[in-house]
Structure 1
Amino acid sequence: MFKWYAELTKPEKRTYWACFSGWGLDAMDTQMYALAIPTLIALWSMTRGEAGVLGTTVLIMASLGGWIAGILADRYGRVRILQITILWFSAFTLLSAFTNSFWQLMITRGLQGLGFGGEWAVGAVLISETIQPQVRGRAVGSLQAGWAVGYGVAVLVSTLIFSMLEPSLAWRVLFAIGILPTLLVLWIRRYIEEAPVFAQTRSERAADRPSMWAVFGGQTRATTLKAILLTFGIYGGNYVMITWLPAYLKLVLNLSITHVGGYLAINILGSFAGAFLNGWMADRFGRRRTFIVIACLQAVAVAVYTLTAITLPVTLALGFILGTLQSGTAAGTGAYLAELFPTRIRASAQGLCGNAGRAIGAIMPTMVGVLSAKLQLGAAMGLCACSSYLLVVMAAMLLPETRGRDLALVAESGERAVVADRRKTPMPDARISGDAR
């Protein structure tokens, strides 16, 4: 499962760690809000509906940010725009520490979301274009482990800060720490180069400036819409749990701050493992089959977790399983979306499809807040999350298999290109090519 890393070249390893660190720091800044929700509800007398709106706002803005960053990355380069997105989300996380009302925080969180969505889109394209095809699923999928690392750092830091400081000050200090990712930009500027496939395409088509609507042109439109449906299901379900999980543990299960930290640690370990599991499955069994299997398992896990009466030990055990499956559904999107679109619009498509799913799926945390006024919080969470994972299965059945593709050969229609690849291009690794043939 891990032998692939030894096969990477030095530039591939550097790019891998740049994207891994960027995603991890992005996660750290983003999850600080989820961890601060109970405190903000108490201090500002926010309703659960308002808390859900704040979570939804950042996801909607992430969609816009991902599309904008993708368009810019297709025009000006992946590495340059990656640096800008990291600086952007770090700055607005810091500014969130100085807000004093619901509306002020919604503005800074919304602007932070622009960088959040942009960093994911550009980083996923950069690593997908850099890594060799036969291990792309494992390498790009494992980047999701960076989210678990960043989430873990956020939990550790928040536990320490809230244990040492009064809540009214602790949440501000927590957000202020969000400026730290800017240090990563210095390393990226020195060591990371553009992906060869993008550099070649830009030199050959220097005058080609695709329209921002190119992802909806011709036969590409169908692929784009199906990919958005896939990511809508993935992130709609995942963000229900990510946004409301800390509040559910504290307000419904009545766990202490120590028990909440312990549970989240187990959940994060599962997320870390899930990223590697998904990558291995995607390269071994194919992208579509992996999405379907993991989404079905996740729906079952979420239903048991939120809709049944379980003991604390079972809660902790399911926390690991839930984390593994959550990470598994999200981890496969980076490589899969990159394999569906041609180089000239790949970043734009990645930014739009990946983050449009976040934006549309962002209604789910708000729906939980609204439904929890009439239903128990666990029931509202389970209903919204399980409905989302059903969409994942539907979308995966509609999209083509892309395992082992050479990104330089992707034509203007992602689905048509898959057929061309199967007929004309031998798979780079016979051990993972059976499903594509």
Structure 2
Amino acid sequence: MAPYFLRNLIPRREKREEGLPLLTVLAGLNFVQWGHFWTGWLAWTCDAIDFFSVSLSVSRLQTQFGQPTTAISTAITLTLLFRSAGAVIFGVLSDRYGRKWPLIFNLLLVAVLELGSGFVQTFHQFLGVRSLFGIAMGGIWGLAASTALENLPVEVRGLASGVLQQGYAVGYLLAAVINLTLVPETAETWRSLFWTASGISAFAAVIRFFLPESEVFIRAKAAERARGGSTSKKTRIFVHETWVMLKRHWLLCIYAVLLMTGFNFLSHGSQDLYPTYLTSSKGFTSHNATVATIIGNCGAIAGGAIAGWLSQYIGRRLTIMIFVLLIGAFIPLWILPTGFGALAAGAFCIQFGVQGAWGVIPIQLAEMSPPAFRATFPGVAYQLGNMVSSASAQIEATGASHLHTTIIGSDGKPKVVPDYATVQGILIGVVAAFVLVVTLIGPEHHGSHFEKHKAAFEEGAGRDEIEESYVESASRPASLRVVDEKRSSSDEAAV
């Protein structure tokens, strides 16, 4: 018999999506379902623009505040450290009260703090605002992912997961384009990047305002009103069910944090100081470093969409493992060349692997989560992993400051520079091996109908009970409801 961690590595045939082609399912989506998905995607894109505004401005921030790279990277570390607090605060609000208003408030808070980042005058002010900013940013991912995925049919959630997660790469891409075009043309330089990012986040909040609450919460709140549940009673139930969930799933919580620690080291270790690596260790101009960053994010977008789609057919864990192996294969191309073309190709390939694996994470965490806590559980696991990996930029900056290499400068003379290439290659190689092992031994609930379970303020939610009064949305095509009914009957027979 196969070991436990190898069982169901490829989903059993009866668990795979059956019947209708992907395009048919996509054609059956209504305007609200599309709206929920794209507003979640936009919120996550804003998160990336806001976060990478610092990474893309390291050299200008050094000049502005008279600080070395290691000091500027402290701002990145503090942002990542405080994101866990935001994940808890906004995740609890979302699972208790709904997806709409917590996400709107979260986006507006991000917009205000990003705007403030562009007005600071001292380095300590900058660190303080970025710390507060981390709390605001921490809530975005859990709320965005739950909003985007829970209103879609099971058949398209793999592809949707990949596209959603690469909102992060699109955000990095947009920030890089703004940094390449707007920033050099304005007297405020780096500040204009932060102000533009603030405006985009405010725009995302306005878009979410015009869309209705998630269907799952509309249904759950209607059921509670029919039962005569009061606000105070629902809050007591929520607290009780949260405690039940933690006692029931504490081991799963630890596993999810370990998984997200590895993934966040992969992401931040390959992205946060990448422009600095190209300018400091390879001698590129800031312009060429930004162009290479844009090329890398094109690879990320392609990898995330492909991996998300592939996971719908071969499973979540197997897809992650394949793309993590690709990361290991592409590390030499990422760090060894000296020419722009080869290094840009390395950036494309490494981000194809990193963000391809990441593309499966939103749906993997959503399906793995206790169903009633799809905003809190994934969001907190994600941001606790961020907290553990928050020092990745400082690790790389410190390591490179103690490890040097020699390059030929623009004047044709040898020049001793920090060796970011070796440091990043070692870090990403070790972390990729860790992620491979953790993914292999973990659970997978491929094709889970988590939208049929109770909301967190309903009795039994902490025990993952299914809502008996569940009624399929009238907007869902009848042909898809038949597919779900067949799958439910099959699952019941198997049990």
Q: Confirm or deny a common fold (TM above 0.5).
A: yes
Q: Which of 271, 279, 283 does residue 308 from structure 2 map onto?
A: 279
Are residues 94 and 203 of structure 1, via their aligned partners in 2, closer, same or farther at CA, if it must alter by over 3 Å?
Answer: same
In structure 1, give the amino acid aligned to 2:219. Answer: Q
- Alignment-derived partner of residue 69 in structure 1: 90
User: CA offset at residue 310 of structure 1?
Assistant: 4.2
Question: In the aligned structure 1, how far is the partner of 2:181 from the partner of 2:427?
Answer: 32
- Alignment-derived partner of residue 422 in structure 2: 379
Q: Which of 261, 272, 294 does residue 243 from structure 1 map onto?
A: 272
- Alignment-derived partner of residue 420 in structure 1: none
> Does 1:209 pair with 2:209?
no
**DSSP-derived class of the 2:443 partner:** coil
- Of stretches 3-12 and 226-235 in structure 1, the one that deviates more from structure 2 is 3-12
**DSSP-derived class of the 2:439 partner:** helix
Q: Which of 428, 431, 436 does residue 388 from structure 1 map onto?
A: 431
Structure 1 unaligned regions, length at least 5: 415-423
- Of stretches 185-194 and 133-142 in structure 1, the one that deviates more from structure 2 is 185-194
TM-score, normalization by structure 1: 0.88
Q: Which of 330, 335, 338 does residue 363 from structure 2 map onto?
A: 335
User: CA offset at residue 216 of structure 1?
Assistant: 6.8
Question: In the aligned structure 2, how far is the partner of 1:211 from the partner of 1:60?
Answer: 28
Q: Which of 191, 196, 206 does residue 177 from structure 1 map onto?
A: 196
Deviations along 1:198-253, one digit per CA (max 9) or x if unpaired, are 44345556522136964872231111111111111111121122210011111111
Matches within 5 A, 1:395-410: 395-408=438-451
Contact 1:86 1:185 in 2 (8 A): yes
> Does 1:350 pair with 2:371?
no
Matches within 5 A, 1:56-95: 56-95=77-116
User: CA offset at residue 329 of structure 1?
Assistant: 2.2
Are residues 363 and 372 of structure 1, via their aligned partners in 2, closer, same or farther at CA, if it must alter by over 3 Å?
Answer: same
Pairs aligned (count): 419
Deviations along 1:137-185, one digit per CA (max 9) or x if unpaired, are 111221123222222221111112333245xx20112212222121222
- Alignment-derived partner of residue 261 in structure 1: 290
TM-score, normalization by structure 2: 0.79
**DSSP-derived class of the 1:401 partner:** coil
Deviations along 1:321-366, one digit per CA (max 9) or x if unpaired, are 1222222122222111111123332221122111111111112222
> Does 1:200 pair with 2:219?
yes
Deviations along 1:59-84, one digit per CA (max 9) or x if unpaired, are 11112211211111111111111111
- Of stretches 204-213 and 380-389 in structure 1, the one that deviates more from structure 2 is 204-213
Contact 1:82 1:122 in 2 (8 A): yes
Matches within 5 A, 1:300-339: 300-306=329-335, 308-339=336-367
Deviations along 1:373-430, one digit per CA (max 9) or x if unpaired, are 222222222222222222211221222122211104568578xxxxxxxxx99648x9
Contact 1:92 1:112 in 2 (8 A): yes
User: CA offset at residue 256 of structure 1?
Assistant: 1.8
Question: In the aligned structure 1, how far is the partner of 2:197 from the partner of 2:337?
Answer: 37
Are residues 195 and 110 of structure 1, via their aligned partners in 2, closer, same or farther at CA, if it must alter by over 3 Å?
Answer: farther
Question: In the aligned structure 2, how far is the partner of 1:391 from the partner of 1:199?
Answer: 41
In structure 1, give the amino acid aligned to 2:55. Answer: A
> Does 1:363 pair with 2:391?
yes
User: CA offset at residue 282 of structure 1?
Assistant: 1.2
Contact 2:260 2:381 in 1 (8 A): yes
Are residues 269 and 309 of structure 1, via their aligned partners in 2, closer, same or farther at CA, if it must alter by over 3 Å?
Answer: closer
- Of stretches 57-66 and 255-264 in structure 1, the one that deviates more from structure 2 is 255-264
- Of stretches 312-321 and 80-89 in structure 1, the one that deviates more from structure 2 is 312-321
Question: In the aligned structure 2, how far is the partner of 1:215 from the partner of 1:120?
Answer: 24
Are residues 190 and 332 of structure 1, via their aligned partners in 2, closer, same or farther at CA, if it must alter by over 3 Å?
Answer: same
- Alignment-derived partner of residue 253 in structure 2: 224
Question: In the aligned structure 2, how far is the partner of 1:397 from the partner of 1:219?
Answer: 22
- Alignment-derived partner of residue 209 in structure 2: 189
- Alignment-derived partner of residue 9 in structure 2: none
Contact 1:302 1:382 in 2 (8 A): yes
Which is richer in helix?
A: 1
Q: Percent identity?
A: 22
Structure 2 unaligned regions, length at least 5: 1-20, 404-418, 454-460, 465-483
Question: In the aligned structure 1, how far is the partner of 2:30 from the partner of 2:429?
Answer: 41
Contact 2:38 2:148 in 1 (8 A): no
Structure of higher CA gyration radius: 2
- Of stretches 257-266 and 92-101 in structure 1, the one that deviates more from structure 2 is 257-266
- Of stretches 29-38 and 98-107 in structure 1, the one that deviates more from structure 2 is 98-107
Are residues 102 and 386 of structure 1, via their aligned partners in 2, closer, same or farther at CA, if it must alter by over 3 Å?
Answer: farther
In structure 1, give the amino acid aligned to 2:433. Answer: L
> Does 1:102 pair with 2:119?
no
- Alignment-derived partner of residue 115 in structure 1: 136
